[in-house]
Amino acid sequence: MEITVEEDRCAASGQCVMTAPEVFDQRDEDGVVVLLDARPPAAAHDGVHAAVALCPAAAIRVAQGRRPRG
């Protein structure tokens, strides 16, 4: 999993932080999302997917990483 955020789209609602605080934070001055871990461990994936679904501005994107072959 690889996460990207579009700070300029962020509505500063904080839904992502409440849902996956190990992956997202907010800037103190304006509440805009801060990505703490662009490639979180598997244990955080459910929270990240929930944060994507809850984001009112659709500012969070998730791409599935490629698994190594072999």
Q: Which of 43, 45, 62, 55 is nearest to 18 (CA)?
A: 55
For the stretch 25-35, pLDDT in tens is: 999 999 999 99
Per-residue HEC secondary structure of the chain comes to: CEEEECCCCCCCCCHHHHHCCCCEEECCCCCCEEECCCCCCHHHHHHHHHHHHHCCCCCEEEECCCCCCC
CATH of domain 2-59: 3.30.70.20
Per-domain residue ranges of the chain:
2-59
- Supply φ then ψ for residue 19, to 5 degrees: -85, -40
Per-residue model confidence (pLDDT) at position 47: 97
Side chain identity, residue 19: T
pTM: 0.87
